[in-house]
Chains A and B, each alone.
Chain A
Amino acid sequence: MSNTLFDKVWDSHVVRKIEGGPDVFFIDRHFIHEVTSPVAFLGLKTRGLKVLYPERTFATADHNTPTINQHLPVEDSLSANQLKALEDNSNEYGISHWGLGHQKNGIVHVVGPENGITFPGATIVCGDSHTSTHGAFGAIAFGIGTSEVEMVLSTQCIMQPKPKKMRININGTLGKAVTPKDVALFIISKLTTSGATGYFVEYAGDVFENMTMEGRMTVCNLSIEMGARGGMIAPDETTFAYLKGKPLSLKGDKWDEAVANWKTLKTDEGATFDKELTFNASDIEPMITYGTNPGMGMGISKHIPNAEAVEGGVATYKKSLEYMGYGENDSMIGKKVDYVFLGSCTNGRIEDFRAFASIIKGKKKADNITAWLVPGSHEVEALIKEEGILDIITEAGFVLRQPGCSACLAMNDDKVPAGKYAVSTSNRNFEGRQGPGSRTLLASPLVAAAAAVTGVVTDPRELL
C-alpha cells in the first residue's frame, strides 16, 4: 500500500484509536518554555502526578528573556517569576533545563535542532505554535495548549484526531534575492491564513530539496500561518549531514541504523493527498506584508490590492489597512520604516545573519532606524563572531543583542512603540504583536537589511 511521509510517521505513533474520537498519540520529544508550562506543572501537582518520561522533555527559557545584560537579574518581576518556575519545575521533575545564561540557551526551535534533539520520523510538540519548525527534518511537529503540555508530561501522549493531508509542490529556480521566507510568505498569500486549517502539509519539489536545513526550517516554521497544524519535508542527505555529530544525535552503529530507517521516510509513488497544490518558483519575488495577518503579503514591487479584489470581508480588510496607515493601490517601495528586527524562530539562524550581512556590508545603518539584531541561540551568536559577521555588523553601525524571542512577540522590553513601522523577519504581523499599536511588515532578512541601510522599504535586488 502506498503511504505518505505523514502517514508513516503518524501511524507509527498511535498507541490506541478511539472509535469516533481522536487517536492516542505518542510524543517522542517535548519542548517546554517558561510561558506555557507553569500552569501545566501546577496541574500535575494538583492531581499528584509525576512526569512519566522526564528524559523526553527539554526546557529552555526564551519567550520573555531580556536580550541585553543577561548576566544581570531580570528586572521584570513577573518574567523573573516565570523563569524561576521553569527552573524549579525542571529540577523537581528531573527535566534538562537550559535557562538564561546557560551556554545552550536560546529559542526553543533553534536549540532543539542544533543540538540533535530533533530527528527524522519523530513526533515533537511544544506549547508554541511554531513547533512546526521541526517538520523540516521529516518530523511531525506541532504546537499544543497548556492542558496538552500537562498530558505529555504525565503520560507522554495527547489525544489528536489525524489531520487531512496536503502537498505543496514548487519546482524551478528561485530568482535573485528570493529566500525561503519569501517562498513561505508567497504560499501563505495564496492560501490565506486559514487555507490549510485542518491539514498537515508536505512540501515537495526541487525548491525544497535544494534548500539548506535553515531554509527548510523557515518554511516549515510558517506552516501554522496558513492554518496548518504543521508542515514537513522528507529527510535526505542534507538532513543527515546537518544532524550528524550534533551533541544529542545518535552515534556509531546506532546512527547508521537510524539513517537506514530514516531513508524510508518519504511519500510512496501513488500515495494520495486530500489536497495538492503546485506553484512555480519563477513566480516568486521578494515578499513583504502590508496588513495585519501573514496572508496579507505580496511581491515587493506590487501594489496593495483593492478591497474588492480580496477574498473575505471588505470591512475586516479596510480595518486592517487603516490600522497600518496604508491605502488601497499604495506601493510599498519607499514606505517609511522606523524599526528593523532580525531574529526569531523564523529567521534567527546563522544563514539569516549571513544574508543580512551580505546587504549591509560596507554600508551604514540609516539614522532613522532602530535595529534589533537578535540571534536565535548562543551557538548562532558564536558563529556570527567566528565568521566575521559581527565585524560587518559593527562597522555598519549595528549592535548584536543576546538570544531570545525578543520583538517577535514583545513579551520582554523589545517593544515597537505605537504607530511605528517595523520591518521584521518574524512570523506574525497581527495588531499590536510587536508592542501595543505597533505596525509590522513581515519580510526576509534581505528585505530587512535593505530597509535598515536605506531607512525605507527597498527592493533588496537593487542592493545586491
Chain B
Amino acid sequence: MATTDVAPAADAELDEIEDEPRRRRLRGTLRDDRRFGLRARIVMAFVLGALLLSGLFVTVAYTLTRNNLLDSRESTSLRIVGRNASAVLQALNVAERTPEEIVANLSTPTGSLPILQIGSEWVPLDPLNFAEADVNSELLSVVIGGEPAQMRYRVGSTPYLVIGIPLIEDDAAYFEAVPLRDIDDTLRSLGLALAGGAAISVFAGAGLGWWAARRVLLPLDDIGEAAVAISAGELDTRLEAEADRDLGRLTASFNLMAGTLQQRIERDARFASEVSHELRSPLMTLTASLEVLHNQRDEMPARAQTALDLLETDLDRFQQLVEDLLEISRFDVGSVALQPSNFEITEFVRQALAVTGSSPEIVHADGVEGLLIHADKRRLARVIANLVDNANKYADGVTSVEIERVGTGIRISLTDEGPGVPEDEQLAIFDRFSRGVAGGSRGAGTGVGLGLALVAEHIRLHGGTVSVEPVNDDGTGSRFVIDMPGVLV
C-alpha cells in the first residue's frame, strides 16, 4: 500500500529536474520579435543608406543645375528685354512706324515672343503662341503699376519666363515671353539620368549589403552546420580557425565549447562503461553462486528453497534493471550503433516470440512471408521481448501479432485484450520510469518502467516509430504499433 504513491512522487521530482534550460541573451538582441532575419536587415540597411545618399545627391545636383540654368537664362533675357524695351520706347517716341512694325523689327535671339501694350491695344508678334490673354494678370497689374517684373509660368505646355517693363511715358508696357522649353528638356533629361543613377546605386547598395551580410553570416552558417553535426553525434567536429580577429574569437570559443562537450560526453560514456564493469562483476559471482545453490536445491529444507527462489527471481530483476540502465545510458551518451543484417521478417517474429515463451497468433498477408528486412536483429528482438513482457504484466499477454508491408517498410502490431491505455497516457508510457496507473503497484516481476522507453529508443534508432492505440470502442485492449519505414531489402 505504502508503495503506491512512490511513482507519482518520483514523477514530480523528475518534472522539477526537467526545468527550462538557462538561456543567455546575446548583447544587442533584446528584441526577439523582429520580423526579418539578420541578412534581410543588413541588406535593408544598405539599401536605405544608398537611397538616402543618392537622394541627397540627386536633389542637390538637380537644384543647383536648375537654378544655374535659369539664372543665366534670366540675366541674358533681362539684358535683351531691356534693350528691346528701350528700342520700343524710342520708336514710339519717333512715331515713324506702327506698333506692329516696331514689334516685328525687334531682335529676339532666344526665340522669345514680344507683345506690346499701348493703352487698351495689344500688339503681339505671334498671337497664336503668346497673345494678350497669355499675360498673367498679377504680372500685368504690377507692370501697369509702374514696376518692371518677371514671372515664370506655363502657357499651354510651354514654360515661359515672361518679363514685363512699363513704358510709362507712352502709357504702354512691353512684355517679352522667353520660352524655357530647352531648359525644361535639359532638366528633364538630367532628372532621368540622376534618377537612373540613384536606382543603380540603390541596387548596388542592395548587392553590397547582400555581400556584406554573406561575409558576416558565412561563419555563422559554418557554426550552424557544425552545431548540427555535433548534435548528430559527430563530436569531433571543429571549425577552421578564422584569420579575422573578431571571427577568430567566435570560432575559438565555439571550438572550446565543442571540445569541452566532447570531453564530458566521453567521460560520461567511460563512466557508464566503468559502472557496467563494476556492477557486472558482483552480478557474475551472484549468478554463478546461485547456480551452485540451485544444483543443491532438492536437498534444502523448504524454507531455504523459498529463500533461494526469491533470490533467483530478484537477481533476474536486478540483472535486467542493470542491463536496461546501461542500455539507456548508452543511448544518452550516443554510443549506440546499429548492427544491421538482412533477415526474414516473419521467421524473425516467430523466433523472437518463441524466446519470450509466449505463443500469440501471428497474422500476415500472403506477400509478407519471406520478405527480407535490413535491421538490427538483437535490438528488434529486445523490442518484441519488452512489448510481450509489458503485455504479460498489465494485460494477460499478447493475443495476436500482425505483420504488414507498408510501402518499403514493415509494420508490426502486437495486440492484447487488457484494460487498455488511457488516452492521456498513450504518449507518456514511452517515457522513462513511467508505469501509468496500472503500473502503480509493484507486483511480482514488475520492472521499473524502462522497458517501453527502450522500445522507443531502439525503434527510433531504426528511423521508425512506435505508438499505442485502443483496440475496442470502449477503450479496452491495446495495440502497440511499430512502424519501420524503408527497412525492406
The finding on whether chains A and B are genuine partners in a shared complex, rather than unrelated, reads: no
| Chain B contacts to A: CB under 8 angstroms | none
| Chain A contacts to B: CB under 8 angstroms | none
